[in-house]
Chains A and B, each alone.
Chain A
Amino acid sequence: MSESSLTRRGFIGAGAAAGAGAMFAADAEAAKRKRKRRRRRRKKRAPAVRRADVIVVGGGFAGLTAAREVMKAGKSVFVVEARDRVGGRVWNHEFPGGEQGERGAMYVGPTQNRILAMMDSLGIGKFDAYLTGNNVAIIQGDRTEYSDTGPTGTAPNDPTIVAELAAVVTELNEMSKEVPVDAPWNSARAAEWDAQTLESWVRDNTQTERFRSLLPVATRPIFGTEARDLSLLFTLFYIAASGDERNPGTFDRNFNSRNGAQMWRIAGGSQTVAFKIAEELGPGRVKLQSPVRRIEQDGAGVTVRTDKHVYAGRHVIVAIPPALAGRIVYDPPMPMERDQLTQRVGQGALTKVGAVYDKPFWREKGLNGTALSTDHLVNVTFDDSAEDGLPGAMVGFVGGDNARIYARLTEAERRERVLGDFAAFFGDEARNAIEFFDTQWPEEVWSRGGPVGIHGPGTLMEYGPALRQPIGRIHWAGTETSTYWNGYMDGAVRSGERAAKEVLGE
């Protein structure tokens, strides 16, 4: 300090500072250390960016398959999953004795080659669904028992509807041959078929109310919806997709248990597939409880933001249903077609109910556990018993309008109604369940319904191409994007394999 700058105020200030310095030197030092520590702590709190070649959003079958393929190609990957478990719409349920049943997807069948190959590669076996004995059908109050080895397969062989059933199924199968599974909107009659619903077509092409009463028995478990909500084009696509590259899809293969989509079950429960893939990916590669909120992309890569973490990669595979994908914020925003698509493809309303028994009592009565009913809350049931038959387990599907009715019931009412329905199908023993469980998929925040995204009239024609079309570095997977077995585990696996190949630039 120069003399000229020494003023009175400066003098006093300097003196005070010197005094204070002498008095509080130790405190100042401590405060400095404290500030330093705080700064360091603040730095630590900034979200760390985790980098990998590919980020996969969604730990269901599609996402896990994609991640597995990416990893096999020698690239690094993170799977970011909103739930506290993997599997998505595939979810095991443990019976009281420790055996596994399923709350979601449970069957595989012929022509579902990709899921079967996946199971093979993971060393997971399958076993036959229980098909010994008769099916039960209740149509407008008439209860019949019949074998599914007859010409109608799983569908009822009621003589008053057989002719109409055969005509309708044949016609739908024939029409579906005109629908290319990769681009249903390209079918020569796409505009005509996408302008009507399945219900309006059935009304125009069938004669009896009795036959029409069967329609919800098919649409509720298959789509989780009513025929009035389904575009005819989408329904035909779904039939065409119930096959593979060598076997054209048919309604029969979709609906039947024997030689159809409900033919085999997965040893250890279907979620085992997800567990094994996650295990294969290695520790730290699957991040649970991490809902993705935002995806940003530029020329260099993508940034995926969850509430806690930031993931950066060269590509992102969004492997969740369109209805969930639409809830993520994208920067830059999605093109109009993609955004509108996600607003229109809602998930079906399907609730799966189940009951566990000491033994599968229906088998002793010569019944296989499959029931169809036009009259009950539960429209369809299947035997969900463990492989050796113990304990006995029964699952049922409550879909569409019935799922909405079901959601309004109390817990006690639900149990009573469902077990009452089971009793109507298989006898009063059904009321003595050891355990009752249900899964309302529309209430699952990270599914928003099930089993599949539904296309109403117009959507496929107007927005279908946006289902799979990558947007820059964002690629789409999920069973809704699959060509074959759309809505099934096989479709999910297929879509994951396809998306992985896209990002690997093959």
Chain B
Amino acid sequence: MRRALLIAIAALGLLAPAGAHARDRWDTRVLALVPTPGFPAHAYAHPNGRVYEGTYTNPNGDTVPSRVFEYEGDGTLLRSWTVRGQSLDQSHGVQVATSDGAGRLVLLDKSPPRALLLDPRTGEQTEYAPFPEGAIPNYAAWGPDFSLYVTDYAQGVLWRIPPGGGTPEQWVADPRFDGGEFGTTGIELAADQRTLMVAVQSQAGGAGGNPSSGRIFTIPIQPDGKPGEITQFWESRPADGPDGFGIAKSGNIYIALLATNQLAMIDPQGLEKERFPSAPGGGANGSPVPFDTPSNASFLGTRVVVGNQSYFSGDRTHQAILDVETGEEGLPELVPPAPPRAEPPPEPVAKPKRKWSCKRYKSRKKRRACRRTLAKRRRAAAQRRG
């Protein structure tokens, strides 16, 4: 009984460590300022509990290759990598879109347009898929068959990369995704694991309504892999600029509004329920860094991490990953299963070299004869070797 009591007390202690207190909903903290080249877009919350951030496009231009930073969940910088093979004379940048079962990061690169795999264990970078010229691969989500569905910021299309990588096919091209200047943005797989949710920032035509309003659409992935009927799930207010989003276990959606510097919460029926901060524009969130063109909201436990790009003002002190408490758990991301671990090849067993010795002969005569024979053999072997 006493032991049970102790265990109960210990458990309570574990649940509520000294000094720890639950954070309020929308409590916002700076997880980390992002070093140069800065302009962080999608902050990716990896299933391993870390946060990965790529540096995106500097609108004033730069010739520095993009970087990918690895942070602990508490914001401690661990490692970083330089993206190789970028076209530095063009507008360039990467977003860490997702990860695979081996823990490798899927990077979406702007110039050249491509998907890369970055292995954090080794730093190795390999191409996963090349995109055609003119595409800007933006966000990505795995489908149930582990095809990778990728949005395109330059055009109203969705790309599908076959399982294992390779040339992407244009999976959907629809006028409702055409935002004029902007294409498709955030993408997530819904809890049923067969419906994709895709955001657009504006709409040049097709579905009516205010063209400056963004939207989220749902698209079922049919058993034959083809897209099902596209349905509008939510429409933003004019000039919100909805971008990346995350889905909670409850079905609530948290989406970054980059033009109004806010986060919006949309319920599972597609009704917008809350905005933080309530007023658009200033982005004041109670932390030292206001929302300044926030790019996404990805779940890390009950928090969402937000890549704060500061795209328009280019304010280095705003280029950060923000950590916003939502008070509810995120939906675990579907990632391909880890590939079976390749067993290391067995060590080649060296055939023990036979040692020739004449010591076994007790007779001096025989030993001498033996030595002569061995010397003869050695000479012959040396001759053979040339």
Contacts and interface: CB of A to CB of B under 8 A. Distances in A.
Check if A and B associate: yes
A57 interface: no
B67 A188 contact: no
Contact of A188 (B32, B62, B82): B62
Counting from the closest, the 7 A-B pairs by CB-CB distance are A245-B32, A180-B35, A182-B80, A246-B30, A180-B36, A245-B75, A245-B77
Contacts of A188: 36-37, 62-64
A483 interface: yes
A159 interface: no
Interface in A175-194: 177-183, 186-188
Interface stretch (A126-134, A385-393, A498-506): A498-506
A334 B317 CA distance: 39
15 contacts: A114-B76, A177-B36, A180-B37, A186-B37, A186-B67, A187-B64, A188-B64, A245-B32, A245-B71, A245-B76, A246-B32, A246-B288, A247-B33, A299-B344, A502-B121
Contact of A181 (B31, B35, B48): B35
A114 B75 CA distance: 12
B347 A498 contact: no
B12 interface: no
Interface in A480-506: 483-484, 494, 497-498, 501-502, 505-506
B82 A183 contact: yes
A167 to B, nearest CB: 21
Interface string A230-251: 0000000000000001111000
Contacts of A114: 76
Nearest to A181: B35
B310 to A, nearest CB: 14
Name the interface size band of chain A. Answer: 20 to 34
Contacts of B149: none
Contacts of A506: 48
Given A186-B36, A188-B36, 4 more contacts: A248-B33, A300-B347, A484-B77, A498-B79
Contact of A245 (B31, B37, B123): B31
Interface string B74-96: 01111110100000000000000
> Which of B30, B77, B344, B347 has the largest number of chain A CB atoms within 10 A?
B77
B52 interface: no
A179 B347 CA distance: 46
A247 B75 CA distance: 12
Contacts of B367: none
A188 B121 CA distance: 27
Nearest to A300: B347
B316 interface: yes
A114 B121 CA distance: 23
B65 interface: yes
Contacts of B344: 299-300
A182 B37 CA distance: 11
Given A182-B35, A188-B62, A245-B33, A177 B78 contact: no
Interface in B180-220: none
B344 to A, nearest CB: 7
